[in-house]
Structure 1
Amino acid sequence: MSAPDASTDPFTLFRAWLAEAETSEPNDPNAMCLATTTADGFPSARMVLLKGLDTRGFVFFTNRESRKGGELLANPRAALLFHWKSLRRQVRVEGVVEQVTEAESDAYYATRPRLSRLGAWASQQSRPLAGRSELEAALSTAESRFPGEEIPRPPYWGGFRVLPAHFEFWQDMPFRLHDRRLFHAHPGGGWRTETLFP
């Protein structure tokens, strides 16, 4: 069986574009806007970092008790947007969301710097903060609790994977005659492609 190519497989095309962005973007080529919905149906968006990509989807990590975590647990659907200004490109992804395995969360958590791991214990993400001193005190408490390098992953901290149903690849072209290419997932596997007017 031949390997998928960028003309038929959106993951192959995405990896090629991401590789180009990694050589041209000054900061965080893996940054993506994550859009979720609130309980009353309003859109909610923020920037997060792509930390894993496999044949199933796009992985990021967070406090699952944060606002975005709660929204994803209540409505496991999301949209992602990658924008690479230096390349004049963007990629939109839409799909359902699942939690990654505990082993995947443990493995990524272990790669984080020590203070980032302690911060996962100290931060009650998305909840009101009286002042910076409250966060610093919580971090100090976490440092006292875990004085060495062995810092377990908090039970509420872990990853989500967006499983794409749709991709859109957008390339800036002269006179705003942009190139827009869509990939739609077939229920039985594979992708259907189409192009859109700019």
Structure 2
Amino acid sequence: MDVAGMRVNYNERTNLFLEENLEIKEPFYLFDKWFKIVKNDPRTVEANAMCLATATKTGLPSARFVLLKGYSKEGFTFFTHYTSRKGKELEENPNAALTFYWEHYSRSVRIEGTVEKLPFSDADNYFSKRPYQSQIGALCSRQSEPISGREVLSCNERELKSKYKEEVPRPSLWGGYMVKPHTIEFWQGQTDRIHDRIRFRRPKENEPDGILTHEAEEGWVYERLCP
């Protein structure tokens, strides 16, 4: 297979992502605008699928896909087991990166920030709204732990369904996280590979003014990056 020769056409130059087209220069507004377009497109399977990258305290990285379960100007939220690999890494290194990729629009959003645990009340509220099978699935799995085979999970599932006919308790070490961003980058792919990248970030303390960095709203600055 000629992997090196694989190419996909993105957008023509009529779809440039330009600074002057930013109605409101604020990253959460732009994320919300892009996300709603993708979410309402019937071609999209999971608009809220995002790659979550974490690292150990020594910097060894790992990444996996999780589902975004909420966003606001405070940050981006997801839920998982605290005892999973990502949970353990976030415990010792509370920094993470998120990446969304929406192929039908040739768009991607990268988010970097610090991570905080959500209150258990938020976890209880979300867990109670999950489908019954999803609740059972969370309870029967010790995420990231080795097991001898699929039958271990099937056995756990049968036992839990027998024990909990309707109301399923939230696993005690299962909860939510919020990624509070300091950097949000928006990428628009172009067929000629001269892609558009605009990065919003929180300015550093005592950062000097620069002609390539522009003031945005609500304490953000933004700048165009080379592709």
TM-score, length of structure 1 as denominator length:
0.92
Partner SS for 1:175 = coil
Is 1:114 equivalent to 2:142 in the alignment?
A: no
Is 1:38 equivalent to 2:76 in the alignment?
A: no
Q: Which has the higher strand share?
A: 1
Is 1:185 equivalent to 2:202 in the alignment?
A: yes
Deviations 1:84-141, CA, capped at 9 Å, x for gaps: 0110000000000000111111111011111111111110110012111100111122
Identity of aligned residues (%): 45
Is 1:48 equivalent to 2:66 in the alignment?
A: yes
Is 1:15 equivalent to 2:35 in the alignment?
A: no
Q: Can you give the 5+ residue segments of structure 2 that lack an aligned partner in the other structure?
A: 1-21, 206-217
Bigger Cα Rg: 2
What is the CA-CA distance between 1:56 and the residue it aligns to? 0.5
Give 1:129's match in structure 2, choosing from 130, 134, 147: 147
Deviations 1:33-83, CA, capped at 9 Å, x for gaps: 000013542210000000111221100111111111111111110000000
Aligned length: 193
| Aligned residue in 2 for 1:65 | 83
| Aligned residue in 1 for 2:170 | 153
Counterpart-to-counterpart distance in 1, 2:23 and 2:172: 38
**Range 124-133 or range 5-14, more displaced:** 5-14
| Aligned residue in 2 for 1:82 | 100
TM-score, length of structure 2 as denominator length:
0.80
RMSD: 1.7
Aligned partner of 1:143: which letter? Answer: K
Contact 1:185 1:192 in 2 (8 A): yes
Counterpart-to-counterpart distance in 2, 1:6 and 1:109: 37
Q: Can you give the 5+ residue segments of structure 1 that lack an aligned partner in the other structure?
A: none
Aligned partner of 1:72: which letter? Answer: L
